[in-house]
């Protein structure tokens, strides 16, 4: 019996494409008609500080390896240039880098190089809403922008402790934080229509004097971080934010007052002489 040999034909181009697909990060290969890039083919080598999501956060240094006679390259579809020595890309953004191993070659290889060296911009404004007689809520409006890699998230800290984070492209993020009044007020005078519940003391003043004993503003540092998709960050601090006034000291005639049911002293049907702790609401 005669033995037969079966020969499989594999083109050099197929081998080159398999090598490129297996050992490189090439995103696409355009108009490949032949394999004249040498053996092995030349391939771009990139170096720089890598951030998140394949974004470089520094300048990118470019070189080539492999066997080659001449390499031509271009950035973002510009003019072809002859490669003579390693060089540095300093521009930011998503850069289309193309190269070929001979000026007249139709074999064009390309990759995307993503560079973001600039941290996001962040600003914070705040306001508040009252929570009846108990306290108030700070409302923080955070505006964060990154025009290169885009926004990833913001984070809210108080005295170095993470409170909350919000993922998303922005640019607007909103946080809330509740606080309770810790003021003390002396309240003296004649009243009517007294109502006392587990939560509050309510009455109509005939003639009532309110004196501020102590006023304690919040004492903490709030920090708001902004992160872009490359992993760069920036932050804004708010130290001891201004809070709304609970009540102005003075004389109150024929007005409705709501106070927290947290007091020492006397609250009768027609007379009040007590120290209240917290917020006073006047209608």
Question: Which residues have a Cβ under 8 Å from the Cβ of 239 and sit 6 or more positions away?
Answer: 221, 222
- What is the predicted pLDDT for the residue at 245? 65
**Strand 221-228 relative to strand 151-158: parallel, antiparallel, unpaired?**
antiparallel
- What is the predicted pLDDT for the residue at 17? 35
Kindly state the percentage of the chain with pLDDT values over 90.
Answer: 56
Contact status, residue 12 vs residue 38, Cβ threshold 8 Å: no
User: Residue 255: is its pLDDT beyond 60?
Assistant: yes
The span from the CA of 89 to the CA of 63, in Å, is: 11
pLDDT digits (tens, 9 = 90+) for 47-68: 999 999 999 999 999 998 876 7
Kindly state the percentage of the chain with pLDDT values over 70.
Answer: 77
User: Residue 4: is its pLDDT beyond 90?
Assistant: no
Q: Which residues of 123-135 are buried (b: 16+ CB within 10 A; e: fewer)?
A: ebebebeeeebbb
- What is the predicted pLDDT for the residue at 41? 61
> Residue 42 carries which DSSP code?
P
pLDDT digits (tens, 9 = 90+) for 183-229: 788 999 999 999 999 888 999 999 999 987 766 667 789 999 999 99
Q: Is 205 exposed, middle or buried (0-12, 13-18, 19+ CB in 10 A)?
A: buried
- The better pLDDT of the pair 278, 197 is held by 197
Q: Let me know if domain 12-115 sits in CATH 2.60.40.
A: yes
The span from the CA of 219 to the CA of 215, in Å, is: 12
- What is the predicted pLDDT for the residue at 10? 32
Banded pLDDT at 34 (limits 50, 70, 90): very low
- What is the predicted pLDDT for the residue at 280? 63
User: Residue 9: is its pLDDT beyond 70?
Assistant: no
User: Residue 135: is its pLDDT beyond 80?
Assistant: no
**Domains of the chain: which residue ranges?**
12-115, 121-282
How many C-beta neighbours within 10 Å does residue 102 have? Answer: 15
Banded pLDDT at 132 (limits 50, 70, 90): low
> If residue 14 lies in a helix (H) or strand (E), which one and from where to where?
helix 12-23
Contact status, residue 222 vs residue 256, Cβ threshold 8 Å: no
Tell me what the mean pLDDT of segment 179-184 comes to. 74
- What is the predicted pLDDT for the residue at 33? 34
- What is the predicted pLDDT for the residue at 62? 96
Contact status, residue 13 vs residue 35, Cβ threshold 8 Å: yes
Looking at mean pLDDT, say which of 5-14, 118-127, 128-137, 214-223 comes out highest.
118-127
Rounded mean pLDDT of the chain?
82
């Amino acid at each position: 019996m005669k033995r037969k040999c079966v020969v499989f034909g594999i083109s050099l181009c197929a081998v080159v494409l398999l090598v490129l697909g297996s050992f490189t990060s090439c995103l696409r290969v355009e108009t490949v008609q032949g394999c004249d890039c040498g053996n092995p083919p030349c391939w771009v080598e990139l170096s720089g500080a890598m951030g998140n999501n394949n974004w470089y956060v520094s300048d990118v240094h470019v070189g080539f390896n492999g066997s080659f006679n001449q390499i031509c390259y271009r950035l973002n579809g510009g003019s072809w240039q002859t490669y003579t020595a390693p060089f540095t890309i300093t521009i930011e953004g998503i850069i289309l880098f193309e190269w070929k191993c001979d000026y007249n070659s139709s074999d064009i290889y390309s990759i995307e190089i993503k560079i973001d060296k600039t941290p996001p911009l962040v600003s914070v404004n705040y306001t508040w809403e009252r929570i009846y007689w108990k306290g108030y809520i700070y409302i923080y409006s955070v505006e964060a922008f990154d025009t290169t890699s885009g926004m990833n998230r913001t984070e809210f800290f108080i005295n170095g402790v993470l409170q909350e984070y919000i993922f998303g492209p922005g640019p607007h993020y909103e946080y809330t934080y509740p606080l309770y009044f810790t003021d003390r007020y002396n309240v003296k005078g004649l009243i009517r229509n007294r109502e006392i519940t587990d939560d509050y003391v309510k009455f109509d003043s005939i003639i009532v004097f309110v004196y501020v004993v102590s006023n304690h503003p919040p004492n903490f540092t709030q920090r708001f971080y902004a992160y872009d998709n490359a992993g760069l960050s920036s932050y804004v601090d708010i130290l001891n934010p201004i809070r709304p006034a609970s009540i102005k000291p003075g004389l109150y005639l024929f007005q409705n007052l709501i106070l927290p049911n947290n007091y020492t002293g006397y609250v009768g049907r027609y007379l009040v002489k007590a120290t209240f702790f917290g917020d006073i609401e006047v209608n």
